[in-house]
Amino acid sequence: MIEKTIAGLKVGDGQPVRVMGVINLSKESFYKGSVVQGGTVLDAARKMIDEGADLIDIGARSTWPLAPAISKEDERSRLIPAVKRLRDIPVPLSVDTMFSDIAKEALEAGAKIINDVSGFTADPGMVEVAKEHDCPVILMASNKVPGDPVGMDAIIASLERIISSAEEKGIDPGKIIIDPAIGKWTQEKLPVYDYETIDNLQRLRIFGKPVLAAISRKSFIGETLRKPASERLYGSLAATAIAVRNGAHIIRTHDVAQTVDAVRVARSARPMIPAVKSGDYEAEVLDIGNHEDGARALLSIGATRNGSQVMKNKTVLYNILLKNIPTTEALIIKQEMLARGGDAALPREAVSHEVEKVDMIVIGTELQVERLIKKIRHQVRVLPAIADMLTDLFDKKNETFSRYSR
């Protein structure tokens, strides 16, 4: 189970999904309706807290790729006075910056959390600031520039590197929140990749960290609806509900009141994590649907890298429905799966050959199915065609565009 205490706030599987209200001081922002004037930040924060915000995130530099650049001094002059005005709010205050000196000043002024969209890649000094203040950090998937990983596999690889590096440098593992970088951070990030990320948020459980999803009014919603940022509220709420259903622990939003309602309903519909605890002992059913995630799970318990590579294809179980299969081929497939430790379910009539064709369910790990494919590919009748079909099925399962094309 994922359970952490972040700046005094409990976050995780057994907790309500937390809502982070956004205070945007950047007039360069893609969503002009979200911009708050420095002198009104306290009123804006109080309003969000009254509406149900559990955290407040304040930033003064737009991370929108098309935003005009501003100087570090411009960011500081907007941000630090606003942080000082918010130092006494009753919820944790997060500061959205990529610069260590600004983060340090903000923490000394009253902020409690660093939100670094570069994932500690823009400014090496950010790690030392976080260590010095022993504060929680939100780290977004990034490689060379913020949000540049394209596709969920790349996001996971980026976060794996970022988390490992941060922990090796002394960041408390219990104070790391991860952000999968939803949004058009680079030109290569098409909407299809953001939908893939939202649909696969549960894959991030392998890291054992709270997951923050920043969805509010982003461009993938605009491209889907063909609407400007000011008209993307309902689309944002729909995407937010899916993200919560799929495991997000924190939702970052410009629209707190509406998001709180959507989050509460979606959280109520989220499946329970199968986990139990008895004294010092714990048990949890891992939902592993990708063999590389299986390898990461094995590494997380101390398995060797070689061992994890050998065993990873045994971590994913498939139940594959095959239709209209000739009875003889169906019986051969069942025998071949049994010989590999798997199985296949057939109707009773197949055993006595009372019917010419049957539907069947092949049950086995990825490794067992791969070995089945290899075995039947060179046999007679239609078995090679079934092997080709199973190969295509696996390819389609792993192909982003075939799953999310519209």
Conformation bin of residue 389: beta by default, left when phi > 0, alpha when psi is -120 to 50? alpha
Q: What is the pLDDT of residue 388?
A: 96
Amino acid, res. 8: G
Assign residue 221 the CATH number of its domain. Answer: 3.20.20.20
Q: Which of 75, 51, 73, 60 is nearest to 25 (CA)?
A: 60
Residue-number span of the structural domain to which 303 is assigned: 285-312
Say if residue 262 is in the same domain as residue 161. Answer: yes
Return the SS3 of 310.
Answer: helix
Burial (CB count <10 Å: 0-12, 13-18, 19+), residue 391: middle
Q: What is the pLDDT of residue 406?
A: 46
94 neighbors 114 (Cβ within 8 angstroms): yes
- What would the mean pLDDT of 231-236 be, rounded to a whole number? 97
* CB atoms inside a 10 Å sphere around CB 90: 7
177-204 pLDDT per residue, tens: 999 999 999 999 999 999 999 999 999 9
Q: Which of 138, 141, 164 is nearest to 151 (CA)?
A: 141
Q: Which two tokens stand for residue 360?
A: 């069947």
Considering the entire predicted model, what is its pTM? Answer: 0.90
Residue 405 has pLDDT above 70, yes or no: no
Please give the Cα distance from 100 to 326 (Å, whole number).
66
Assign residue 383 the CATH number of its domain. Answer: 3.30.1370
Catalytic residue numbers, as ranges: 218, 252
- DSSP H helices in 230-300: 233-245, 256-268, 291-300
Residue 22 bridge partners (DSSP): 57
Say if residue 110 is in the same domain as residue 197. Answer: yes
81-105 pLDDT per residue, tens: 999 999 999 999 999 999 999 999 9
Say if residue 331 is in the same domain as residue 219. Answer: no
Sequence-distant contacts of 384-392: CB under 8 A, at least 24 apart: 386/322, 386/325, 386/329, 386/333, 390/320
Say if residue 148 is in the same domain as residue 46. Answer: yes
Q: How many domains does the chain have?
A: 3
305-352 pLDDT per residue, tens: 999 999 999 999 999 999 999 999 999 999 999 999 999 999 999 988
Read off the pLDDT band of 400 (50, 70, 90): low
280-294 pLDDT per residue, tens: 998 999 989 888 999
Say if residue 365 is in the same domain as residue 230. Answer: no
Say if residue 132 is in the same domain as residue 75. Answer: yes
Say if residue 128 is in the same domain as residue 158. Answer: yes
